[in-house]
Structures are given as structure tokens and as C-alpha cells.
Amino acid sequence: MNAGCDQYSIPKQIAVDLINMHQARGDQIYFITGRTAGDKDGVTPVLQKAFNIKDMHPVEFMGGRERTTKYNKTPGIIEHKVSIHYGDSDDDILAAKEAGIRGIRLMRAANSTYQPMPTLGGYDEEVLINSSY
């Protein structure tokens, strides 16, 4: 989701499926973004509604926060005791590795303008097939 366009973004089916699976298992779900927080968090309610999340935690905006780690999402992963971190960027996978947890790669949408495209499996991470939509 991109700043200013969140309410118009179309959720990926893989995200719906993963969130449903984790909710059915009783897992806690946290969204951790590298974005900088704005004056008002408009992302949390959009995600809660789009994915029908029952026990929604506020989105963790890690951009601009001071940290002692190399990757900006690592402190959020550690703080919330996350055990699996999904992401489509190299930094998502590297943040999971830095936190000592399992990072699972989601394939970026083929029509994404966010470049460069990451190397799937380039860090020996698991990659979910058919996760680009």
C-alpha cells in the first residue's frame, strides 16, 4: 500500500489467505512498515477492514525511529516477539534474519513500480509460490 492511496489498494489474495490462516490458528498479527508515521494513522483502519482482522494492533511505523539495528523493521519484530515475518523486499528478509526469526518471501506484483525487483530466494529464505497476486 502506498501513502495517500491506501484506501484504493487491492489486497493480494495471498495476504487474505495468510491472515485468515493465522487468525484461525489464534496467532497475533502485526503490520510493521518502514514508512514514517504521518499525523494521523489512516492505514490501520484500512487494513482492519480489508482483511477483516478481529484483534487489530496499530500498524508499527518504523521509518525515522532511532534504532541500534541495521534494518528499520527489526526493532518492531523483536518488540512484538514476532516468530514469522512475511515481506516482498530484501530488507524484510534481512530484518527477519537480523531478529533471528523465520522470514518468508512474498513475490512482488509483476506490475509493481517499486524497483529494483528483489531476488527471490537470494538470502536462502522460503518463497511462497503464486504470491504475486
Superfamily name and number for 11-128: HAD superfamily/HAD-like (3.40.50.1000)
What pLDDT is recorded for position 1? Answer: 44
| 8 A C-beta contact, residue 61 and residue 36 | yes
Reported pTM: 0.89
Dihedral sign of CA atoms 89, 90, 96, 101 in order = positive
Report the first-to-last Cα separation within the chain, whole angstroms: 13
What pLDDT is recorded for position 6? Answer: 58
What are residue 14's DSSP bridge partners? none
Domain ranges of the chain: 11-128
Average pLDDT, the chain: 93
Tell me how far apart the alpha carbons of residues 31 and 61 are, in angstroms, rounded to a whole number. Answer: 9
| pLDDT band of 119, cuts 50, 70, 90 | confident
